[in-house]
């Protein structure tokens, strides 16, 4: 008990040094937490993916389309519950700075397949009835101040011209991981418009979303879909929604790796800072430890004192950093919500914070403890005065 008392009082004896060290650890934990959250948000689409949804795209590349006629054939495959389809529209709102994902989809089936997009029955009815209608996620509508009935124009980048829409619904995410920054409108509106300009471009979809009856059928259904269109002009590649989303992340794998490395470098730097603090502290207290050894306390007591002090400081910094991570992540997520629509500090990140703090605390204490234990009592006492 007395050892614990000494340990805690030692930790905060030099208030300025302890305070600055705790602040340094807090900033490092904050940076570590934010970087880990960036990585988590990168994978948010993968995490949010359903195990009972498949994505079918052109086997050559996502940028090539598939004929709308595949819809009926896919529906007939055993294990398929429902099929929807859509295209990446790539429209720009006012200018390029206002980026958000926008798709044209077959709205009835799409909303069925994605029950996590929660729309009121009235809004759903008016959206389905209005070919120029669109729905937007809650965060997207809030960002631009859109209200139901507002007219919004997107400038087409893939499909040229100005495209006028009317906001018919604002969806909310059922789960924390549901993206609330997306923009959906009718595939028919796009198809009929481009048919007038070029009939060759009409009747094409970018992807099919397939709801399957049971998750364990995913492999069989995917195989059956691709087999159906084997040796056709547009062969397909069908995979789970998770695998499809992971494919996108793999394209930016180097960035994710770089962020991961930076997050660990932050930890290594702060480890050096804490080790330096503990080395200074132990050097100053070598006399105190010598007195305790003189009185009969052993190496185990000295180890508990030094490791304990190091852990108290790092865990205090960790706790401060963890508390700061939440408002910082909220501000960061708000500022970049179109790039990182799901920016939530995960439980795993908090566990990693604590683990990193314990690791820093222990590693920083090893050498000072060794020095304090090894020094002879007489040598230690000579340093007093």
Q: By the criterion CB under 8 A, which residues form the site for other proteins?
A: 1-3, 5-6, 9-10, 13, 287-288, 291-298, 376-378, 381, 384-385
- For residue 259, give the DSSP letter: H
Q: Taking the complex as a whole, how short is the minimal distance between the CB of residue 20 and other proteins, in angstroms?
A: 19
Q: How far is 314 from 241, CA to CA, in rounded Å?
A: 41
Of the candidates 183, 143, 139, which has an alpha carbon nearest to the alpha carbon of residue 344? 139
Q: Taking the complex as a whole, how short is the minimal distance between the CB of residue 5 and other proteins, in angstroms?
A: 7
Q: Taking the complex as a whole, how short is the minimal distance between the CB of residue 9 and other proteins, in angstroms?
A: 4
Which is closer to other proteins, CB of 36 or CB of 285?
A: 285
Which is closer to other proteins, CB of 9 or CB of 132?
A: 9
Q: Give exposure, 96-118, as e/b (b: 16+ Cβ within 10 Å).
A: eeeebbbbbbbbebbbebbeebe
Residue written as token pair 């930790």: 11
DSSP-based three-state secondary structure for 116:
coil
Q: Taking the complex as a whole, how short is the minimal distance between the CB of residue 339 and other proteins, in angstroms?
A: 50
Which is closer to other proteins, CB of 78 or CB of 379?
A: 379
Of the candidates 234, 361, 237, which has an alpha carbon nearest to the alpha carbon of residue 310? 361
Cβ atoms of residues 80 and 222 within 8 Å: no
First to last CA, the chain: 28
Q: Taking the complex as a whole, how short is the minimal distance between the CB of residue 6 and other proteins, in angstroms?
A: 6
The pairing of beta strand 80-88 with beta strand 102-105:
antiparallel
Which is closer to other proteins, CB of 9 or CB of 125?
A: 9
Which is closer to other proteins, CB of 201 or CB of 291?
A: 291
Q: Taking the complex as a whole, how short is the minimal distance between the CB of residue 282 and other proteins, in angstroms?
A: 15
Which is closer to other proteins, CB of 5 or CB of 196?
A: 5
């Amino acid at each position: 008990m007395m050892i614990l008392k000494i340990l805690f009082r030692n930790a905060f004896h030099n208030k300025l040094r302890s305070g600055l060290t705790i602040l340094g650890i807090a900033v490092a934990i904050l940076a570590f937490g934010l970087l880990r959250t960036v990585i988590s948000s990168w994978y948010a689409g993968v995490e949010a993916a359903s195990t009972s949804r498949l994505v079918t795209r052109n086997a050559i590349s996502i940028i090539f389309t598939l004929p709308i006629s595949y819809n009926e054939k896919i529906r007939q495959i055993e294990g398929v519950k429902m099929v929807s389809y859509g295209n990446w529209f790539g429209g720009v709102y006012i200018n390029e700075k206002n980026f958000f994902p926008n798709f044209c989809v077959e709205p009835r089936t799409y909303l069925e397949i994605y029950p996590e997009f929660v729309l009121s029955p009235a809004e759903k009815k008016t959206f389905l009835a209005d070919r120029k209608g669109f729905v937007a996620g809650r965060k997207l509508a809030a960002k631009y101040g859109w209200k139901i009935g507002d007219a919004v124009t997107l400038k087409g980048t893939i499909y040229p011209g100005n495209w006028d829409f009317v906001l018919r619904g604002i969806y909310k995410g059922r789960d924390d991981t549901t993206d609330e920054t997306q923009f959906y409108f009718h595939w028919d509106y796009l198809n009929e418009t481009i048919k007038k300009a070029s009939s060759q471009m009409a009747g094409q979809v970018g992807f099919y979303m397939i709801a399957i009856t049971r998750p364990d059928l995913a492999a069989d259904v995917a195989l059956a879909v691709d087999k159906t269109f084997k040796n056709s002009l547009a062969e397909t590649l069908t995979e789970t929604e998770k695998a499809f989303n992971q494919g996108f992340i793999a394209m930016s794998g180097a960035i994710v790796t770089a962020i991961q490395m930076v997050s660990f470098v932050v930890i290594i730097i702060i480890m050096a800072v804490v080790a330096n603090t503990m080395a200074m502290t132990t050097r100053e207290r070598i006399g105190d430890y010598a007195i305790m050894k003189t009185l009969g306390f052993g190496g185990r007591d000295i180890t508990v004192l030094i490791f304990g002090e190091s852990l108290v400081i790092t865990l205090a910094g960790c706790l401060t950093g963890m508390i700061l991570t939440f408002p910082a992540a909220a501000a960061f997520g708000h500022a970049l919500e179109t790039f990182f629509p799901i920016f939530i500090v995960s439980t795993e990140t908090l566990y990693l914070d604590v683990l990193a703090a314990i690791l820093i605390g222990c590693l920083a204490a090893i050498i000072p403890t060794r020095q304090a234990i090894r020094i002879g009592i007489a040598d230690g006492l000579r340093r007093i005065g």
